[in-house]
């Protein structure tokens, strides 16, 4: 191969290399342009997640307050509080309902009466449930104590346990009596107030009185 042929071959190889480099650069540019939409989609998705997180945080910040027993006791509406001790004041509450009714709409009157009712219905429910649970637990403790006493055959231990059960039973009876007084006071007030409302042609289907079994209403 002479010098002229070698020069032609070298030039051919250079041209081939230049073409290959140009093709590689074009392929890289095409790949970059294809990735751009994906990157935009990723950015949009990340923004959506961040927005959802901010929304969740705002919802938690504006969540409604959970009212405690102290809040309920501090509540003061247009109707008087029901007296739990001493002379009952159902007549005072009935008079307050009639006074409120004379200056407000039927819907406003029902709302006020229902708020008052639900407040004391919760107290009634708690007293009934507490008595039921206390009786069930006392019966279980008495039964278990008797079985353990029979199994141990230890007279002193058995006697000590029986004395402890008697003290516990007396404390339970005191609490049960207190709850029963609350139950009776609220049930009687509910019945009197409901009868008075019906005489005034105010019939509220939701105004029910719970029974001491914790299940039935009338």
Specify the length of the chain in residues: 218
Beta carbons of 185 and 84 less than 8 angstroms apart: yes
- End-to-end CA separation in angstroms for the chain: 118
d(CA 171, CA 141): 14
* Whether residue 3 has pLDDT greater than 90: no
* Whether residue 23 has pLDDT greater than 70: no
Note the helical H segments in the chain. Answer: 3-61, 69-74, 90-103, 106-152, 155-199
Check residue 147 and give its pLDDT: 65
* Whether residue 84 has pLDDT greater than 70: yes
DSSP state of 13: H
* Whether residue 82 has pLDDT greater than 50: yes
CA-based nearest residue to 108, from 132, 84, 137, 79: 79
* Whether residue 40 has pLDDT greater than 50: no
* Mean pLDDT over the full length of the chain: 74
In this prediction, residue 39 has a pLDDT band, given cuts at 50, 70 and 90, of very low
Structure tokens at 52: 């959802």
The better pLDDT of the pair 188, 62 is held by 188
Residues 6+ apart with CB under 8 A from 91: 192
CA 159 to centroid of chain Cα atoms: 45
Reduced to 3 states (helix: H, G, I; strand: E, B; else coil), residue 217 is strand
Give the model confidence (pLDDT) of 123-169 as tens digits: 999 999 999 999 888 877 776 666 666 666 666 767 777 777 778 78
Beta bridge pairs of residue 217 = 210
* Whether residue 21 has pLDDT greater than 80: no
Check residue 17 and give its pLDDT: 53
Mean pLDDT value of segment 172-179: 90
Mean pLDDT value of segment 164-187: 88
pTM to 2 decimals?
A: 0.58
d(CA 110, CA 118): 12
Residues 6+ apart with CB under 8 A from 123: 182, 186
Helix 106-152 crosses helix 90-103 at what angle (to 10 degrees)?
150
Residue recorded with tokens 């407000």 = 104
Check residue 77 and give its pLDDT: 75
Check residue 46 and give its pLDDT: 39
* Whether residue 114 has pLDDT greater than 60: yes
The better pLDDT of the pair 201, 40 is held by 201
Check residue 214 and give its pLDDT: 83
């Amino acid at each position: 191969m002479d010098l002229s042929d070698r020069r032609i071959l070298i030039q051919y190889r250079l041209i081939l290399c230049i073409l290959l480099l140009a093709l590689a650069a074009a392929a890289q540019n095409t790949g970059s342009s294809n990735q751009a939409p994906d990157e935009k989609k990723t950015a949009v998705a990340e923004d959506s997640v961040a927005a959802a997180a901010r929304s969740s945080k705002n919802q938690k910040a504006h969540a409604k307050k959970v009212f405690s027993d102290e809040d309920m006791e501090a509540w003061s509406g247009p109707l008087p509080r029901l007296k739990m001790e001493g002379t009952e004041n159902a007549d005072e509450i009935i008079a307050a309902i009639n006074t409120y009714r004379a200056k407000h709409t039927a819907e406003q009157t029902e709302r006020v009466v229902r708020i008052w009712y639900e407040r004391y219905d919760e107290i009634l429910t708690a007293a009934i449930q507490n008595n039921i649970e206390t009786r069930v637990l006392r019966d279980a403790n008495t039964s278990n104590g008797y079985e353990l006493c029979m199994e141990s055959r230890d007279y002193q231990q058995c006697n000590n346990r029986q004395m402890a059960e008697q003290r516990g039973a007396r404390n339970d009876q005191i609490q049960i009596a207190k709850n029963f007084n609350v139950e009776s006071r609220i049930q009687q007030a509910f019945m009197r107030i409901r009868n008075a409302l019906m005489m005034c042609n105010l019939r509220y289907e939701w105004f029910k009185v719970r029974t001491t079994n914790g299940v039935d209403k009338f």
